[in-house]
Chain A
Amino acid sequence: MRTTPVQTSPRRSLRRAAVSLAAVTLTASTLTGCGVFGSPDVVVYNAQHEQLLDELVPLFEEETGLDVELRNGKDLEMANQIVEEGKDSPADVFLTENSPAMSIVDNAGLFAELPESATATIPDQYVPADRTWTGFLARSTVAMYNTDSMTETDMPASIMDFAKPEWKGRVSFSPTGADFQAIVSAVLELEGEQATADWLAGLKENGVIVQNNLVVMQSVDSGEVDAGIAYSYYWYRDRAENGSDSDSSQLYFFGDQDPGAFVSVSGAGILASSEHQDAAEQFVTWLTGTEAQQAMGESYALEYPLNPDASLSPDVKPFDELEPPQVDVASLNGPQVTDLMTEAGLL
């Protein structure tokens, strides 16, 4: 038994509690302040593939001595988060996989105009007229088909045909990702609202809905479905690495300005609220420069660099043979797309 007088115990335990609380608070603030988490020169909200930026960022850091911190997420999630954060956003730079997410932030008036240097190397059609952001990579819409059950001649002339009854149960796609939503926004831009709504209703009826484009590829390769809608680079990457999923599938390019030949642009923009404008400008300028673009071309990514001086593996169908439809990158309407998709029961 302890012999401490009972009356002093509460005070003592209170004091002890206060001391430990202070210690915890101190540790926590050290951790968040400057200790463990550091204070970076550029905060990038990154919705591009994490793996790609993990490869690129060290090159930039080495060259400039600047410290880049990534916050990873998905296109629309991060775009909406930035809009919610408004001028309090911790983000300096925003990178996406597809342009509709850029438009969401741009429409909220949160981007700063890019310096001449950041867009100089990128062809004009991939930069919005007001130069609030720039494209830096591109990806081509494709269909993949299973080579055991299909030949190229069985494939439809247009991506719109996948909504026809003969495709029931035979086509897979991933409606919840920004990738597919970018394709829908192109369809909306090219074909109009009613045609898009009908197309989505048909796809909902026909489609096998999967988690992402990689699963689209798997489902085609395993023969679960005859065809899938995705972007080309997934298939090229897999073929380049091991061919484990792509060995029973082939790519089908719609071409001929079909909505299914839509080229989606990955965007980079600088937040007007950023307190690190200089560093952010350096980062985006570097990203569109020849060195970084070539590094992307040589990386595992196999997306198309937009800087004409950078080249991609010769195994990939050349950019200038894609015959994409003409779409203004700044005009793609993300919110209307999600409304239409919600209406169709896909979201």
Chain B
Amino acid sequence: MVIGPVDLWHLLARPRIGELLRNTLTLAAACMTATAVLGVALAVLVERTDLPGRRAWHGLLVAPLAVPAFVNGYAWVSLDRSVHGFGGAFLVVTLSYYPLVYLPVVAMLRRLDPALEESAWSLGHSRVRTLATVVLPQLRPALLGGALLVGLHLLAEFGALSLLRFPTFTTAIYDQYGSTFNGAAATAMAGVLVLLCLVLLVAELRLRGDRRYARIGRGAARTSVPLSLGAWRWPLLATLAGVVVLAVGVPAYSLVRWLVVGTSTEFPLADLTEALVATVVLALAGALAATVAAVPVVWLAVRHRGRLSTLVERSTYVANALPGIVVGLALVVASLRLVPPVYQTAGLLVAAYVILFLPRAVVTVRAGLEQAPAVLDDVAHSLGTGPLATARRVTLPLIAPSLGAGAALVFLAISTELTATLMLSPIGTRTLATEFWSASSELRYGAAAPYALLLVLVSIPATVLLMRQERLSLQEATP
């Protein structure tokens, strides 16, 4: 749809845009700050102190990653309807997204060379002061990368915010498309959203600066001596338990409660199986395709650094912040105009997933390739190994873990994707997410519960994969 500059200005200068801008910005700022503080504090607590049961806490703290944000929103709002508006959105989004900061910070903490800290102690710095002045600054890339992911996720979040009645650009775009499809107002809003995404990307680049934190060689896997908590142990344990109860306990309780209370009337085994199979097949196909597509992008960005390759890499992030409905609509129009036969086929849907979630694969695969020294490729070449064999025998094994982690992140995202799936899926395809959404938006909480449970179960293997991925370092996503 073509609109003139006057109409565009008219659409952008109205009060509704101001309201949405205020909502989106305040929520993003609050959630990015909260997830950053929470993510770093929890990571330091688990990785660098003598807190009892650290391994178990680590598992519990990563667990929210397996609970999609909109399932979490449903869990809270169906227990207590007063959880809505800014407060509810802030609470639920923070609890759902903090692992995106926590995980890379943990990975970074595990990789830091303890020798630096030991030098600080030997110079007479206290443990706490060392933590603040030596360790924390080194976490900056992990922290910024994680916060950037939180911000991008938030810009695209639809389900949770819609359930929690907090309108942002994404929910408003959805409402507009629902009424006018490719109306001018929706297009203008999507434009603002892309701008917000660019602002985030540039801000993160600026804050990160040019400092490099890498060390030469991986060194010995030696961990730092844990900080003794002393009397602080108990209040800190209680705080940690509080976070886990809110982030994991509440959704678990709510789900079980609805399964018991609500599903006595409905537990459609055939429908559940069908949705489960469709979800897993689509998510696997999409994860595979996105990971494969990420490799050349990353290779270009890492091995051929330059303005152009940075631009290519960064441009993939924009789609990550676009609501699925925008990408979905674009593909509806494009496929109908250009290649009608692929319309509403599984192939087109997988293409939509790749466009939407490529950045998640790029982020992780990049971290892996950064750590695979280019010199090894050169050595292989000098020994007479061809390019393909080098890729297969040298580079791929080195980046295999990050390929797995990238695929896991994409898998998690696809299994909860809603809007593009609704628009583009082959006729008759129902996924766990679409079925869950249909039930929960009709307030049939009991009927939604089995789908929510399956969504969580399907997400567990990918989450475990991510958790085990010690070298997963989202922070190295950005140069």
Binding site for B on A (CB under 8 A): 6-7, 9-10, 13-14, 24, 28, 31-32, 37-38, 40, 43, 49-51, 69-74, 76-77, 80-81, 83-86, 88, 90, 176, 178, 181, 209-212, 214-215, 218, 222, 334-335, 338, 341-343, 345-347
Contacts and interface: CB of A to CB of B under 8 A. Distances in A.
Which among B15, B178, B185 has the highest number of chain A CB atoms within 10 Å? B178
B388 A9 contact: yes
Contacts, number: 124
Interface string B236-276: 00000000000000000000000000000000000000000
B392 A9 contact: yes
Contact of B179 (A31, A32, A212, A338): A338
Contact of A76 (B178, B343, B392, B444): B178
Nearest to B447: A51
Which among B16, B165, B422, B443 has the highest number of chain A CB atoms within 10 Å? B443
A249 B250 CA distance: 30
A13 B336 contact: no
Contacts of A214: 442-443
Nearest to B289: A24
A115 B433 CA distance: 38
Contact of A211 (B162, B388, B393, B426): B162
A28 B346 contact: yes
B181 interface: yes
A210 B172 CA distance: 13
A73 B340 CA distance: 21
B438 interface: yes
A338 B184 CA distance: 11
A200 to B, nearest CB: 12
Given A90-B344, A211-B165, A181 B179 contact: yes
B133 interface: no
Which among A10, A24, A51, A343 has the highest number of chain B CB atoms within 10 Å? A10
B388 A81 contact: no
B392 A90 contact: no
Contacts of B427: 37, 40, 43, 69, 71, 90
B26 interface: no
A96 to B, nearest CB: 13
Interface in B6-24: 14-16, 19
Contacts of B387: 10
B163 interface: yes
Contact of A38 (B19, B179, B281, B428): B428
Contacts of A341: 179
Contacts of B346: 28, 31-32
A212 B438 CA distance: 12
B345 A32 contact: yes
Counting from the closest, the 3 A-B pairs by CB-CB distance are: A80-B181, A10-B388, A345-B16
Given A9-B392, A214-B443, A347-B176, A84 B15 contact: no
A296 to B, nearest CB: 17
Contact of B386 (A6, A49, A88): A6
Which among A13, A83, A342 has the highest number of chain B CB atoms within 10 Å? A342
A212 B441 CA distance: 8
B386 A7 contact: yes
Which among B15, B347, B423, B428 has the highest number of chain A CB atoms within 10 Å? B428
B41 interface: no
B181 A84 contact: yes
A77 B181 contact: yes
A49 B443 CA distance: 13
B344 to A, nearest CB: 6
Interface in B358-401: 384-389, 392-393
Contacts of B181: 76-77, 80-81, 83-84
Nearest to B333: A84
B332 to A, nearest CB: 6
B183 interface: yes
A43 B344 CA distance: 13
A175 to B, nearest CB: 8
A32 B281 CA distance: 12
Nearest to A8: B389
Which among A14, A85, A218 has the highest number of chain B CB atoms within 10 Å? A85
Nearest to A101: B179
Contacts of B333: 84
B49 to A, nearest CB: 43
Nearest to A76: B179
Given A40-B428, A211-B163, A345-B19, A77 B178 contact: yes
A51 B183 CA distance: 30
B442 A210 contact: no
Given A13-B388, A31-B346, A215 B19 contact: no
A188 B332 CA distance: 32
Nearest to B178: A77
Given A10-B387, A84-B336, 16 more contacts: A6-B389, A9-B389, A9-B393, A49-B442, A50-B438, A51-B444, A69-B428, A73-B422, A80-B177, A88-B343, A90-B344, A90-B427, A211-B163, A214-B443, A215-B443, A335-B180
B81 A222 contact: yes
A6 B385 contact: yes
Interface string B430-450: 000000001001111000000
Contact of A347 (B175, B332, B340): B175
B15 A176 contact: no
B178 A74 contact: yes
B176 A342 contact: yes
A81 B180 contact: no
B185 A342 contact: yes
